[in-house]
């Protein structure tokens, strides 16, 4: 899968779980400040991403993940 296609898939997860418009899901977007997402939203997003991409993300790996770009890179590295 190309990076673009992977990002699109990632983005549709984020749009659905975080209930934000697609245009706000950009690499620079910060979960808390730009997407109004709380910690439970992030847990929901991670669970949705695990399901969508058939991967496992450990709690420790989520430390310091604050932007869409960081989260995407974490997921992409597992594919």
Partner 1 sequence: MSGPGGAGGLASGTAARAGGEAGSEHGGRVVLVTGGNRGIGLACVQRFLALGDRVAATYRGTPPPLDGLPPDQVARLLPVTCDVTRPDEVGAAFDRVEAELGRVQVLVANAGITRDTLLLRMDEEAWQAVLDTNLTGAYRVVRRALGPMVRARGGRVVLMSSVSALLGSPGQVNYAAAKAGLVGMARSLAREVGSRGITVNVVAPGIVETDMIAALGDARAEQLRSMVPLGRSASPGEIAGAVAFLASEDAAYITGAVLAVDGGLAMGL
Q: Which residue's CB is nearer to partner 1, number 6 or number 24?
A: 24
**Which residues here bind partner 1, judged by CB under 8 A?**
19, 36-38, 40-41, 44, 47
Q: Which residue's CB is nearer to partner 1, number 30 or number 79?
A: 30
Residue 30 pairs in a beta bridge with: 67
Catalytic residue among 36, 38, 41, 54: 38
Q: Do the Cβ atoms of 15 and 22 come closer than 8 Å?
A: yes
63 is known as an active-site residue = no
User: Of 65, 4, 30, 7, whose CA–CA distance to 20 is shortest?
Assistant: 30
Catalytic residues: 38
């Amino acid at each position: 899968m190309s990076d673009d296609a992977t990002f699109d898939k990632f983005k549709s997860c984020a749009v659905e779980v975080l209930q934000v418009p697609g245009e706000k899901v950009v690499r620079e977007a910060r979960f808390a400040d730009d997407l109004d997402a709380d910690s439970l939203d992030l847990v929901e997003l991670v669970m949705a991403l695990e399901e969508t991409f058939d991967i496992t993300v450990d709690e420790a790996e989520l430390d310091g993940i604050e932007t869409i770009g960081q989260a995407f890179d974490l997921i992409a590295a597992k594919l």
